[in-house]
Amino acid sequence: MALLDGVGSPADIRRMSPGQLRELAGEIRELIVKTTARNGGHTAPSLGVVELTLALHYVYDTPNDQIIWDVGHQCYAHKIITGRAGRFDTLRRQGGISGFPKKTESEYDTLDTGHSGDSISVALGAAVGDRLRGSSRRSVAVIGDGSIVAGMAFEALNNAGCLKQDVVVVLNDNEMSIARSTGAMAGYLNRMITGKMYNRLRGDAWNLLGLLPQDLSGKSRAAARKLQEGLKNLVVPSILFEELGFRYVGPVDGHDLTLLIDTFQRVRELRGPVLVHVVTRKGKGYGPAMRHPEVFHGTGPFDVGTGQPPSSPGPSFTATFGAKMVELAGKDERVVAITAGMCLGTGLLPFREKFPNRLFDVGICEQHAVAFGAGLAMAGARPVVAVYSTFLARGLDQVIQDVSLQKLPVILAVDRGGLVGEDGPTHHGVFDLSYLGMVPGLVVMAPMDEVELGAMLEFAVRYREGPIAIRYPRGGSGVQPGPNPAPIELGKAEVLREGDQGCVLAVGYMSGVAARAADILRSRGLNLTLVNSRFVKPLDAGLIMSLAERFPTLVTIEENVLAGGFGAAVNGLVERSGGVARVVSLGLEDRFYEQGPRSWLLDQAGLSPEKLAARLQECFGRK
């Protein structure tokens, strides 16, 4: 019988021998690869932390002790050994287990997380809270070398060193965040690894001095501290973590189970903040993921034998964006691209290959990415910040203060706008039209199809009056563009078809869906005027008010929360202008949407062509 069959909780692995644990690690890797090959998922990150996961659960008394996973895409082994191996085949599927920690699934999942940089803050807060109520529970934050560069992580490290609480930070260093880690911190961690001789010598010397008689031991250790300050500056290029107040342990081989267990058993007895530097290999145990860790960070289904996807994906907004960026950069040397650790995911890999000196990967630091873009724009460049919608929210303050307030021509390419599918609620980009639409001076556009995205990007590069955000969804539009799409003009919508029995104003991807719904309704004898609004801000006020005079009801459609979104903006315009038309807004409800195929999620939200057709019939009084 496979060892995994006998694992229902971490208590079961604590009874295993080191040899059995190593065998179990192999079984876990096999299950992860088999499942993600069928369902897609974050293959490489989870393969890299199998031994680390086993060691943490072996030593710490989970779920009483808390393990808080930063980002959470490395939690597959954690899920498998905490009672979910039998359901692991449902990973990321509709109604199945999440690809990220989820409190409603298990008491072992302490925090729903899908973004980076928050684990140390939460672990520290939990440690302080436990101290206040007299609990001896331990809190462990597991954070990657890509995530630890986030500003929030540094803020937490600084505070933890000051509070001196019993908190353990496990730095999972695989030289990768999503792509290969960049920046000074990546170089620093590499030097820490090469300085491991210093750490070994320090520990041995400290233990040796402790064997001396008590009166000599104290004096010797005091002298050793002074010597240590000089020694570590010679041997280790930086002493960042220790100067922040952490006891630094490592580097530790993240695939040596015996060493990991021994290290954590010692660390568990220490008091105060401790940082354990663990070195792992992303994709460990699966050849294609080890050779191409960036590709296998997050992937769709693939062939286990070759690592290749079953078929080539069709046209997509992301691929169109990447190709257009290369074209525009070839014509205008001022065009530069910025990504926050998502070069492949945002379609900028061709740009990086063609213009390596004009692609800036700042790591998982969206706030810095936006403000960095502001500085580039001040110097005359045309910066394009490519970022997923769900992650851009972390840089909103910079969008307001450093970009829009300064009227700087920074272009925000907002990928994954709307419902993204299997990654679930932490990754759905359903708030951006609301939080971007409220910012003064920020132009907000949303293309109906890939051709329109290219045209909007061209327009944005030419526009000099201030910042522009272009918001587009995951995947492709499925729309066949007309032969002569209308040119992009600031604040001008496009009338796709004329009808006299109702009026629909849609924006972005929903314009294509609304067109298919209008085709269904036309076959039923209901002819609608359909507008591809293109702009969320500024609105085409002239067109909207003329339609408000012609039609008693205007229906708006958006793939965004209704609060503060496109429909709210249209309704506000009509009210302020003294219009009497009723505005009915269709969009996403005030709730978090779960995981599932994008098409299914849209149908559940009433935004599939068939569901939309039925809702429009209701809106215009037709049975």
pLDDT digits (tens, 9 = 90+) for 478-489: 877 666 778 899
Decide if 109 contacts 136 (C-beta within 8 A).
no
What's the CA dihedral at 611, 616, 619, 621 to 10 degrees? -110
What DSSP letter does each residue of 366-401 carry, written as one string?
Answer: HHHHHHHHHHHHHTT-EEEEEEEHHHHGGGHHHIII
* Dist CA 296 CA 484 (whole Å): 39
Give the pLDDT score at 483.
66
Return the higher-pLDDT residue of 557 and 177: 557
Grade residue 221 by pLDDT with cuts at 50, 70 and 90: low
Strands 359-361 and 335-339: parallel
348 and 320 Cβ atoms separated by less than 8 Å: no
**pTM as predicted:** 0.84
pLDDT in tens, 560-582: 999 999 999 999 999 999 888 89
Beta pairing, strands 503-506 & 382-388: unpaired
DSSP per-residue letters across 64-79: TSEEEESSSTT-HHHH
Amino acid sitting at position 362: V
Does an H or E element contain 543, and which?
helix 541-550
Dist CA 358 CA 192 (whole Å): 30
Convert the pLDDT of each residue in 353-362 to its tens digit.
999 999 999 9
pLDDT digits (tens, 9 = 90+) for 416-429: 999 998 888 999 99
Contact 505, 544 (CB under 8 A): yes
More confident residue, 213 or 474: 474
Question: Kind and range of the H or E element at 535?
Answer: strand 535-537
Predicted confidence (pLDDT) at residue 178 exceeds the cutoff of 80? no
| pLDDT > 70 fraction of the chain, expressed in percent and rounded | 88
Going by C-alpha positions, the residue among 339, 394, 383, 343 that lies closest to residue 362 is 339
The residues annotated with a catalytic role in the active site are 282, 366, 394
Q: Which domains does the chain have, with CATH numbers?
A: 3-195+236-291 (3.40.50.970), 317-471 (3.40.50.970), 495-619 (3.40.50.920)
Q: Please give the average per-residue pLDDT across 4-21, as a whole number.
A: 92
